[in-house]
Structure 1
């Protein structure tokens, strides 16, 4: 259970901004409100044209980077790399590039080289600058607005490379086009010097191509953030599946020995499906669909397995992962449900009095991929998380419907029957679980007017200003209750470890006392209900367990519950992990208050001890219950000082796989995983 966090993108940050304002709010409420509001409006009486700020060039990007890259955390940092990589992949989509090299360098820079056409270097008729400088320094300038530059591309706003330039401490670009090479250098988005001609061929011994070397600006990003080859490799592997025969090379040059990974998959998305489902038992061979209609290319791969989890369908548009789906994914789900209900009637699997099955039962255990290539994509926002093209809906419907009908009527009859039988079983299991839920409801456990007696609630009733700590055991719960700020912090102690929801049927879930306490305390509702954020009683759910192996196991069980029971909690960034310290160190002798420090890891402890000549007393915290309430507050619960980890799924594929391996019922897969990663563990410091 030691590696459960690997597939999460963890954002470590001080929680000062949000909760320091809470205390200000409480103080304001005690003051004369009329005087307070009068003071506010008196400050804006001089509001006139001189107060309007006009931002020029790339300054809007530096002022509001989150608008363009999603965040200034590790997610945003990696988004910079994706913008440049996607430009190179767009060259591959046009048939101009088949090799891309990405290098992680020891000076915190990233280099991306391709064998594409190179960026034009002639003078642009509107800006009067070279085309190269234009695309690097002006927002909404590029070759992806429906002109002759690209037939299909992932970029559509013309801001990708200029945003990377704006958020880089420096960026150096080499381009070679029509055997003419040149380079330019930029610092925080501003051009340094003139364009320089280059005689040497810099790129893969190829006539044309582009090389971008940049260093993220640590005035924008935290200096503790680094590029993770695990995260980058996941994206490159994904791109290799989506673009068969494209080779992507990732080199990590930050250590003495260069670590190189090569990603190339000639089997395309069918091979991708095999990779996603190899730990599961398939019901049939992969269904592969590929066709172009009205200039839009559609690729679909589907495979149902014996797995009882919800469907896992990945959607892409022009190689961009559309995390929130869109018209292509909506259409795919609808046509699958409609077609299989049709064959349920036609084959006699559905009797006359049997109603059509909803999509959740039809798609149970389905692993799928849909990838569309569109000349003019309509994404929502620069981060491109959702596709909006309305015409894609009918095209996906036509292509997939025609193929599935023909497939199920000819060579796929057995596959169709197996899928229908599984869907019927899923429906029957759901009906049994529904009866169990109703039984529980009658006992008032899921009625939200009745809260668990062990819950120590907070005074505030506004969910936006409230948070709840989930702790294990009465000892930790008692310490947390004494340490908390009763105004906005609630405590829910759990008894022992909750059941493993990954291999528990739904009926048992609702009969479990600790699960009932979680559901009712948080206001979650039942598993099959749509997520309603307005029913949540807290907008910040914090898992606070001991800083040892047992605590890690409890944390994993809770994360499994949140991910499988109500994934939206994680997707909306509402789940956090508290970071209690492992050690307290202080000076020995008469003046014990001269020095006191908390360490959160063994490495941090060694560093602290090495810095002090005087003898220090080291206290190892075995659990939260052993900490004094004052210590727990100042290290783990005080919003002004604490560090929280927000849990975000950066890769749905890896998240599903890791939960299935670590918490599923296949012992061999778990044993294999432990053997592969055993070398990463420091066995001397494990608490048995």
Structure 2
């Protein structure tokens, strides 16, 4: 059998065709995440103008027709003819990949965005884009449809208007087949974050769709303004608002070296046992860390140990405090602005510039040492908390060693109640964590043994938010979880190669107790090994609430609304029966497989952290020691969240 492979089979994609052909390469996905990424790309251009010192106000509006408009008071995209393309600079930026002011031409010293392809990618993936530019006393306008210019750039009027740019776009339903509806809270989280990271930049966010909420100006359903003169200091204040601070003033460091700008804000808290450090590089959240976070962690450990020895809090013959001891209870933000950032991976989640580590180390080391020497009470408080953490870690280590010795004496290191799968490849293996032996029995009988493992847990696991490490390792259910998944100990760097299953699925009953167990498990993963959540290994199973039977036909319904919709499709006088599943244990193994475990028919929700600061705050409020903030939360949001079944 022969195959002709010749030059005419080589496809050449011109202009923006590659973006429409493979959109996932440019925006990650054509689902909700990619859809919202379009807004971030346009806003990033305005933020770059702010970083360059030319923009102070950015307005974002979701329009009544579902399109989005982003307006800034920057310099305005240049409108003169580009020497290479022979077209206006604006049309060039909108229609040519990798065209922009971020590639060494002196336009921008520092920029975020997606490698300078942002606004052209938005153009390629939109049904239409309309751009207005105000500069040199004129208002310029051009429209594009699916990436193609409709007519030339025109100066449509003389304008006594501040300079700036306005970009309106409607995402293309041919690309985003799941729909083009923007989620207000998702966008608000990112815009608020950008306002914290860029002190003094005002961001106004409005929604003109028919959303319920307080009426704003010009009939807008909703409008919020984000403006933080204190920048990341206010960010840390917001994140620790429900915690008890260990020291009064937030420790703030700001400096520049070799054109790299560094900002750090730190606050230790009394009632917190884990650290929450957020890293940003050029306004991009680096969830996988990088050299800036490595430098910060190293300098924190070294400086606190150095001060502790100077103040005789650690004796000569005693070991140094570990990094995890020093960072216990610490909330912090580090934001670096790097002229030529090197990001590892397509999604820019890890900063790779090696020089940044040393710059962070030297700038923060000098400023932090000076601050602690001039504020000995703060130094003593931080050191004392770190010493307590060190002692607790030693107790936890002893408890852990006891667990390990016990495991060696047993026939297997894996927990006895784990029904493992036969596949040895973690990337195809998944584990269902279920509540109780009854549900565990159904799940074990209904599963596909080839790739599905089952771990039943008895009762409710410990609330990690209120527990020290020593107690964690003595808890049987948590021991089982840690061992079954192949997790390292707390404080170890997460090692994906040790994880035994790449889908960790929480499958609990669809009632109040089930929701509580799911929340306790999520708290464990979020606080104990956050990278599991950040890297997308945690899922929630969605079992049905009802089985609706009519004659020989049956339907599974996953919500009350779905049940009512299905009933409405029956004739008026139809007879039917409704079975309400109170728990997974009530379901036959075949039913559990068909509805909740079969990859062909099940629904899984992947747990994602869109807003890390808000997630951390909510975990503290709902799962922490302090009762007053939790009561206030319930009183404030109870009616909005429909907490009718709240188990008090």
> Would the TM-score normalized by the shorter structure come out above 0.5?
yes
Conserved 8 A contact 2:465-2:523:
yes
Q: Which residue of 2 aligns with 1:430?
A: 393
Written as runs of structure 1 = structure 2, the 5 A alignment for 1:515-554 is 515-554=478-517
Q: Which of 96, 109, 114 is the aligned partner of 1:151? A: 109
Conserved 8 A contact 2:512-2:645:
no
Kindly tell me: are residues 687 and 636 of structure 1, through their superposed partners in 2, closer, same or farther at Cα, counting changes over 3 Å?
farther
Structure 2 unaligned blocks of 5 or more: 216-220
Shift of 1:578: 0.7
Q: Distance in 1 between matches of 2:36 and 2:505?
A: 26
Higher RCO (CA < 8 A, seq sep 6+): 1
Conserved 8 A contact 1:144-1:155:
no
Structure 2 residue matching 1:530: 3-state secondary structure:
coil
Structure 2 residue matching 1:249: 3-state secondary structure:
strand
| 1:251 counterpart = 2:209 | no
Q: Distance in 1 between matches of 2:493 and 2:256?
A: 35
Q: Which residue of 1 aligns with 2:454?
A: 491
Structure 2 residue matching 1:648: 3-state secondary structure:
coil
Q: Distance in 2 between matches of 1:147 and 1:314?
A: 31
Q: Which of 89, 97, 106 is the aligned partner of 1:139? A: 97
Instruction: Please identify, of 632-641 and 154-163, the stretch whose mean Cα deviation from structure 2 is larger.
Output: 154-163
Q: Which residue of 2 aligns with 1:29?
A: none
Conserved 8 A contact 1:447-1:520:
no
Q: Which of 321, 324, 338 is the aligned partner of 1:374? A: 338
Q: Distance in 2 between matches of 1:281 and 1:639?
A: 45
TM-score, normalized by length of structure 1? Answer: 0.88
Shift of 1:461: 2.3
Q: Which of 531, 539, 564 is the aligned partner of 1:568? A: 531
Structure 1 residue matching 2:385: 3-state secondary structure:
helix
Conserved 8 A contact 2:243-2:620:
no
Conserved 8 A contact 1:156-1:377:
no
Kindly tell me: are residues 686 and 222 of structure 1, through their superposed partners in 2, closer, same or farther at Cα, counting changes over 3 Å?
farther
Kindly tell me: are residues 169 and 446 of structure 1, through their superposed partners in 2, closer, same or farther at Cα, counting changes over 3 Å?
farther
Written as runs of structure 1 = structure 2, the 5 A alignment for 1:20-419 is 46-47=4-5, 49-155=7-113, 157-199=115-157, 206-224=161-179, 226-255=181-210, 257=215, 258-284=221-247, 285-381=249-345, 383-410=347-374, 412-419=375-382
Structure 2 residue matching 1:147: 3-state secondary structure:
coil
Q: Which of 468, 493, 498 is the aligned partner of 2:431? A: 468
Structure 2 residue matching 1:237: 3-state secondary structure:
helix
| 1:665 counterpart = 2:625 | yes
Conserved 8 A contact 2:308-2:314:
yes
Shift of 1:247: 1.2
Aligned residues: 637
Conserved 8 A contact 1:244-1:266:
yes
Kindly tell me: are residues 687 and 621 of structure 1, through their superposed partners in 2, closer, same or farther at Cα, counting changes over 3 Å?
farther
Shift of 1:93: 1.9
Q: Distance in 1 between matches of 2:322 and 2:647?
A: 48
Q: Which residue of 2 aligns with 1:443?
A: 406
Written as runs of structure 1 = structure 2, the 5 A alignment for 1:575-654 is 575-587=538-550, 592-593=551-552, 595-614=553-572, 615=574, 616-654=576-614
Conserved 8 A contact 1:167-1:217:
yes
TM-score, normalized by length of structure 2? Answer: 0.93
After superposition, the C-alpha distances for 1:94-125 in whole angstroms (9 at most, x for unaligned) are: 22222111112232222111111111122211
Q: Distance in 1 between matches of 2:289 and 2:429?
A: 31
Q: Distance in 2 between matches of 1:447 and 1:334?
A: 39
Shift of 1:420: 1.2
Structure 1 residue matching 2:94: 3-state secondary structure:
helix
Cα-Cα RMSD: 2.4
Q: Distance in 2 between matches of 1:427 and 1:381?
A: 35
Q: Which of 637, 640, 643 is the aligned partner of 1:677? A: 637
Q: Distance in 2 between matches of 1:609 and 1:659?
A: 38
Kindly tell me: are residues 236 and 670 of structure 1, through their superposed partners in 2, closer, same or farther at Cα, counting changes over 3 Å?
same
Kindly tell me: are residues 270 and 446 of structure 1, through their superposed partners in 2, closer, same or farther at Cα, counting changes over 3 Å?
farther
Q: Distance in 2 between matches of 1:521 and 1:467?
A: 11
Kindly tell me: are residues 98 and 528 of structure 1, through their superposed partners in 2, closer, same or farther at Cα, counting changes over 3 Å?
closer
Structure 1 unaligned blocks of 5 or more: 1-41
Conserved 8 A contact 1:102-1:112:
yes
Conserved 8 A contact 2:433-2:506:
yes
Conserved 8 A contact 1:481-1:491:
yes
Q: Distance in 2 between matches of 1:432 and 1:640?
A: 47
Q: Distance in 1 between matches of 2:262 and 2:362?
A: 11
